[in-house]
Amino acid sequence: MQRPIDRREFLKFASFGGAVFASGLGITAYGADSAGAKSTAADEFYFVQLSDSHWGFEGPPNPDAKVTLKKAIASVNALSEPPDFIVFTGDLTHTTDDPKERRQRMAQFRDIVAPLKVKDVRFMPGEHDASLDRGEAYQEFFGKTHYTFDHKGIHFIVLDNVSDPAAKIGEEQLAWLASDLKRLPKDARIVVFTHRPLFDLYPQWDWATRDGAQAVELLMPYPNVTVFYGHIHQENHHMTGHIAHHAAKSLIFPLPAPGSQPKRTPLDWDPAQPYRGLGFRDVEADVKQATYRLDEMPVVKA
């Protein structure tokens, strides 16, 4: 089952023990499970999701492209409490047909994010990083394109749906996913990081993964699964059955809402409100309740 969810419905969903969602300046929402139990601090931690920095992009949609990522890194470093880890959900660099330039952009991106105070930083590729050489340059700089890690009771799975230029996860990786899931208990807390949406958000704009439904099917038997992704340069929240999918804002230019205009052209840069529509996200995990509180953060605090 797939259906879009609006903000009100999402908050309602939160009250049933699902993901907890908060967005906007100063607006927060906290989750309580259906039994009303309170989590202890030991069950909670937070991480930061950054996405779609497109390092190397130049153009009117972001005349400030050379400093936007750097400002976001400074804002993450300025957070009052450091996150447990930081994740970049793909399109670290903007695509180029020149393999040498691609590597140069990756090296520059790596240098720009090096000042992050939190040293546990997880990467994954987007199609701009990996689709033209099946992830070859990306792996030279950032390692594997799909992997898992565990943190404080949550099993994190990084899925690569971009190294295949046809936007497929592929049989081999799906078998790897099936085998990884098989060893987990049914009540495992699972978070999936990926670049493209795993469901057909808007295939007319290439906002889909061709075999994403197979990954969702493998995840479906597990009641505590949440997906965080990038690619679409805007916040978006969607349910496939009980699985919540949260898209993150970009750090280069925002894109229009799915199907809201004929072409997927970037939204205009507004000099009066630089960085409007851009930002990163804090995700506070309540491991016991398997809920996630999302706070959308601007590139630069007003």
Partner 1 sequence: MNARRRVLLGAAGLGGLSLLGVRALAQPAAQVVKVAAKKFDYTPNEIRLKKGVPVVFELTSADVVMGFNIPDFKTRTDIVPGKVTRLAFTPDRAGKFVFMCDVFCGSGHEDMNGTLIVE
Q: How far is the CB of 23 from partner 1 (least distance, A)?
A: 27
Cα–Cα distance, 299 to 278 (Å, whole number):
6
Binding mask 213-252 for partner 1 (x = CB under 8 A): ----------------------------------------
Instruction: Give the footprint of partner 1 on residues 161-180 (CB under 8 A).
Output: 162, 165-167
Alpha-carbon distance values, 169 to 68, 117, 178 (Å): 31, 32, 12
Region binding partner 1 by CB under 8 A among candidate stretches 124-132, 187-195, 229-237, 293-301: 124-132
Instruction: Give the footprint of partner 1 on residues 256-275 (CB under 8 A).
Output: 264
Number of residues that bind partner 1 (CB under 8 A): 15
User: Which secondary-structure segment (H or E) carries 103?
Assistant: helix 99-113
Angle between helix 212-219 and 171-182 (nearest 10): 10
Q: Give the list of residues 6+ apart from residue 158 with CB closer than 8 angstroms, or none.
A: 122, 124, 145, 146, 147, 148, 149, 192, 193, 194
How do strand 243-247 and strand 20-21 relate by DSSP bridges?
unpaired
Name the residue with tokens 């592929």. 170
97 binds partner 1 (CB under 8 A): yes
Q: How far is the CB of 130 from partner 1 (least distance, A)?
A: 9
29 binds partner 1 (CB under 8 A): no
Q: How far is the CB of 265 from partner 1 (least distance, A)?
A: 9
Residues found near partner 1 in the complex (CB under 8 A):
95-97, 127, 131-132, 162, 165-167, 203-204, 206, 210, 264
